[in-house]
Structures are given as C-alpha cells and as structure tokens.
Structure 1
Amino acid sequence: MSEQLLPGYHIRRGSTLDRSLLVKFMQRTYQDMFSNQDFAHLEQTVKQYFSSDTPLWWVEEEEDKGAGEQKNRNFSSAPTPPIACLWVGNAIDQVRGDRHAHIFILYVVPEYRRRGIGTALMRYVENWAAQRGDRQIGLQVFQSNTPALNLYNQLGYQTQSLWMIKFLSAEK
C-alpha cells in the first residue's frame, strides 16, 4: 500500500524482501561522501539489523497517466525505481530509559534533492514515531554532511551528544 508523500511522489512500506535494494541505497549514501572507499561491509549491517521491527519506506515518483497507459500497451510491468528511502530502528535513551525511533538512513537520489522529499520524509517519520508513543527521534549525521545538518537544524533537531573516535594502530 502506498500513499502520497508530496505531489508527484508516493511512499510505500518496504519489506525484508528489499534487503539487497537497501544495501545498494546504503552504499550510495556512503559513496556520495567517501567515494574512494569500498562499502561491501554494509551488507552485514543490513543482515544484522534489518527486520520487520525496523521499518523501511521507499519513495517513488508517481507515474503520469499517459505513461502508465503506454506501459500497459507495452505489457511492461517493471516497477518504478525508488528515488529515496528511510530506514528506522529502535534505540533506548541512555538517560531516561525510553525507547525511541532512530533513523539508520535517509537517502534521496542526488537528482531528486532540494525538492522537499527529505523534509517530507522527516515529517513522515516524526508522525509515525509520535503515533507509536515515542517522545524523541535520534539520528547520526557526519559533521561534514552540511546539507543534512542544515535540514535537521531547520527541523528543530539539536546535538545531544558527540560520537568521538580514536583510530588505533594495528601494530603491537
């Protein structure tokens, strides 16, 4: 089942059958920022965390009626490829102990950016989380991802903690 997300775009719930497509979208997400890396390991992340308890939504461009009629005449049933995805998991607030939604990935294909799709997806997940009783949503964003940081700041998200890392030498 799908519903309109924005004029011209609809959102549909994914399923665990979408595992390989989710991996491809995750790889595209990281390749956009770190183009010289191999992200084959993301398949393990999806294998470990993707389940019916971690909802996935796809955004697809709505077909215009003329194109759909032409498609029917050509007997093609190829689905419209998704242009965005949103994958959400669950986290526990370490201060209060409350369960809350955690956004694993929000990705919009580059040629569809700056059309309000990311904002609409964030509003969608906020409504979804509020309906299930969550009092907050968490996400992690790279400090260098200025467009994403701007979006989240405009939507009222605030830095609560910083994730710090230190690279260790493999030598002993």
Structure 2
Amino acid sequence: MVSESNWPQGYQLVPGSSLDRARLLTTMGNAYRELGATQLGHLAKTVEMYLADSSALWWLEKAGAPRVGFTASVVPPMGCLWLGQSINQLTGALQAYVYLVYVAPTHRRQGLGGKLMDHAKAWASDQGYDQLSLQVFAHNQAALTLYKSLGYTPTASLLTLEL
C-alpha cells in the first residue's frame, strides 16, 4: 500500500487534487525551464488534458507547513509527483506513467527523487499495473543516472527532425 510517511526529517508527501492545477502548472514551468525550455504555453493544455480523476498527484512539502484551505501549503512545494495511465504501444497493455517527477534544486542530492520514484512504483503496483514508464530528455544526465540506478531500462528513442 502507498504510504505518505517515512520521509526524511523535515519533509512530508501530501496528496494533491485537481484543485492544484495552478500549482502544478507553476511546478511544471520550473521543471521545464531548468531543462532549457523557452516556450511554456503548451503546459496549461497538458495539465488540462491529463490531470484527471484517474491520475494521482502528490506534493513534497516542508513537514508541518501551514495550509491554505484544504490543499495547498503556504510554502512552495519542494517537489512533485504526478502519475497517470498510458498504453504500451508494443503490447497494448495499460501501464502506469510518470507525467512529472520534480525536486526543487535546493533539495536535490538527498535521495528525494529516488523516494518519489519508490512512491510511484508502490502506487503503480497498488493500482494493479505491471509496468511503470516515463520519458526523460537525453541531456538530463542526472535523471538518467537515477532511473538506471532504480532498474529502469531504455525501450525507445524519440527522434526529432527540425523543419
């Protein structure tokens, strides 16, 4: 069963909801800016299309952070995990999919990304999936190293031709 406990001291993982659209959009913008993206307008459409009741969202926050209403913390999130469903195009099987895993730069190198991915794996297993997939940019060496250390294997390459 997925647990939001057992995080390093000072951190907690709290469930998000569809009410967190603006917060998710801001976090995605931060993540993609760090990867070199200059055009971010499409992210709102991505959130609109994929943040659904069937997806799952968690925020990595400061433990004990004051809340605004029922969901958001007053303090910006230290990380985010957003999961959903996709179809394995080779087998046709439904699989869990990582839409976003993010740890803010000042909180990296503490094992938090690995713990978020462990949480993703537990959620996927609890949901009955046999596979968990994600996409990573080829130049994101830190993420590639993390995923390989967790047992992920490359199964496809996305090729692009500029026109």
TM-score (norm 1): 0.84
Q: Which residue of 2 aligns with 1:29?
A: 31
Identity %: 37
> What runs of 5+ residues in structure 2 fail to find an aligned partner?
67-72
Q: Deviations over 1:58-116 (max 9, x none)?
A: 111214xxxx8xx8xxxxxx633310001112111122221111101101000000111
Does 2:122 match 1:127?
yes
In structure 2, distance between residues paired with 1:10 and 1:20: 21
1:33 deviates by: 1.5
Deviations 1:5-26 (A, max 9, x none): 4122111110000000000011
- Paired residue for 1:46? 47
Query: Helix, strand or coil: the match of 1:159?
Result: coil
Match for residue 110 of structure 1 among 87, 105, 119: 105
Task: Look up the equivalent residue of 1:90 and give its one-letter code.
Answer: Q
The runs of at least 4 aligned residues of structure 1 exceeding 4 Å deviation read none
How many corresponding residue pairs? 155
Letter in 2 for 1:45: T
Aligned residues of 1:5 and 1:11 also touching (Cα < 8 A): no
Query: 1:7-156, aligned counterparts within 5 Å?
Result: 7-8=8-9, 9-34=11-36, 37-63=38-64, 79-156=74-151
- Answer with 1 or 2: which has the greater Rg: 1
Structural RMSD (CA): 1.9
TM-score, with length taken from structure 2: 0.88
What's the CA shift string for 1:30-60, capped at 9, x where partnerless?
100116x131221111112111111111111
Following the alignment from structure 1 to structure 2, what is the Cα–Cα distance between the partners of residues 42 and 155?
A: 28
| Structure 2: distance between partners of 1:165 and 1:152 | 23
Task: Provide the C-alpha distance between the structure 2 equivalents of 1:23 and 1:100, rounded to a whole number of angstroms.
Answer: 24
Gaps spanning 5+ residues in structure 1: where? Answer: 72-77
